[in-house]
Amino acid sequence: MMQKIWLKIRHLGFELYSFFTAPFVVKNCLGLIAFFAGLLLMTFWWLKCYTNHGESLQVPNYVGMGIQEAVRKAQSRDFEYVINDSIYVPGRPPGEVLAQNPKAESRVKEGRTIYFTVTKNNPDIIKMPDLVGSDDYDLYSRKINRLGLKPRILARVADPKLAPNTIVAVLYRGDTVTQDIRYGFKVEMGATIDFIVSEQVTLTVEIPDCVCQTYDAARFLITSSNLSIGAVIKDATVYDEQSAYVWRQTPPYEAEGTMRVGEQIDLYLTQELPAACGGQ
């Protein structure tokens, strides 16, 4: 029984061998292998051409160029381009490239789109914030600075009714617009806004002690206290006013004494240091 099965297996094997080694079968099998190998190679070649596999281009730096020059150079490298944003920048010519995406020196596929941000010709129009509740210059100037405006203090005025640094007036191109702001006054981005602000008012100052000082030192004390020098009375010994000493002043120095800003102090001079000064 086993012998018959073995004979059948050998007979089947011989028939299969004879079939696969027949010339027409071998020829057809080789043809199929060659066909599928060629098809596979063609598929890889097509994918490589379609995706530019392993090939990339370096993106140049277009920032700072005019948009026409940037577009010309982008197209020469087979890049597409899109201007996706425009911004007004004071002092910069219109059409200048401010930013690009992808960034310079990055590597991309051929035909990639480059997105440009450029400067525009006309500035944006900005509505100034209301002064109500924010008339402190420091706070308001920071607020409009964030909007692209340039705050500037044109003058300071003494006003005892206002806290220091309070906005007294707002000017735009020489015209006062303080009242117009509450109605939504509009200005160009980058414009300079002038302000007049209040400053601290000091009506009185302490009386400086000028006795025993040289005339030059006494003059410095008086002027730095926002006072002025009145009469200068010299005795017969004075031959050099600058090095002479003050032996008396009017009004006299008092520890708690005060004078109004701008008032005068009279000085009496002698050439030698007075004995009452104790050899200072």
What pLDDT, in 10s, does the model give residues 171-191? 998 888 988 888 889 998 888
Q: Taking all residues of the chain, what is their mean pLDDT, rounded to a whole number?
A: 83
pLDDT of 34 over the 90 cut: no
**Cα-atom radius of gyration of the chain, to the nearest Å?**
47
State phi, psi for 158 to the nearest 5 degrees. -85, 125
Mean pLDDT of 115-120: 90
pLDDT value for 44: 63
Lowest model confidence (mean pLDDT) among 28-37, 70-79, 110-119, 154-163 = 28-37
* Contact of 239 with 203, CB cutoff 8 Å: no
Mean pLDDT of 151-163: 84
Q: Give residue 106's pLDDT band: very low, low, confident or very high (50, 70, 90).
A: confident
Q: Give residue 141's pLDDT band: very low, low, confident or very high (50, 70, 90).
A: very high
Neighbours of 59 (CB within 10 A): 20
* CATH topology classification for 125-199: Trypsin Inhibitor V; Chain A (3.30.10)
Mean pLDDT of 242-265: 90
If you classify domain 204-277 with CATH, what class do you get?
Answer: alpha beta
Tens digit of pLDDT for each residue in 187-208?
988 889 999 998 877 678 899 9
For tokens 């005068």, what's the residue? 264
pTM greater than the 0.75 cutoff? no
Q: Give residue 90's pLDDT band: very low, low, confident or very high (50, 70, 90).
A: confident
Three-state SS string over 44-85 comes to HHHHHHHHCCCCCEECCCCCCCEHHHHHHHHHHCCCEEEEEE
Cβ contacts of 182 within 8 Å, gap of 6 or more: 130, 131, 132
Spatial separation of the C-alpha atoms in residues 119 and 94, rounded to whole Å? 5
pLDDT value for 27: 66
Three-state SS string over the chain comes to CHHHHHHHHHHHHHHHHHHHCCHHHHHHHHHHHHHHHHHHHHHHHHHHHHHCCCCCEECCCCCCCEHHHHHHHHHHCCCEEEEEEEECCCCCCCCEEEEEECCCCCEECCCCEEEEEEECCCCCEEECCCCCCCCEHHHHHHHHHHCCCEEEEEEEEECCCCCCCEEEEEEECCEECCCHHHHCCEEECCCEEEEEEEECCCCEEECCCCCCCEHHHHHHHHHHCCCEEEEEEECCCCCCHHHCEEEEEECCCCCCCEEECCCEEEEEEECCCCHHHCCC
pLDDT value for 42: 76
Lowest model confidence (mean pLDDT) among 39-48, 79-88, 108-117 = 39-48
Cβ contacts of 200 within 8 Å, gap of 6 or more: 158, 164
First-residue to last-residue Cα distance in the chain: 145
* Contact of 117 with 178, CB cutoff 8 Å: no
Name the residue ranges covered by the structural domains of the chain.
1-35, 57-119, 125-199, 204-277
Q: Give residue 16's pLDDT band: very low, low, confident or very high (50, 70, 90).
A: low
Mean pLDDT of 22-45: 66
Comparing 224 with 249, the larger pLDDT belongs to 249
* CATH topology classification for 57-119: Trypsin Inhibitor V; Chain A (3.30.10)
Comparing 164 with 21, the larger pLDDT belongs to 164
Spatial separation of the C-alpha atoms in residues 151 and 174, rounded to whole Å? 14
Tens digit of pLDDT for each residue in 120-132?
888 888 899 988 8
CA dihedral 97, 99, 101, 107 (to 10 degrees): 80
pLDDT value for 194: 93
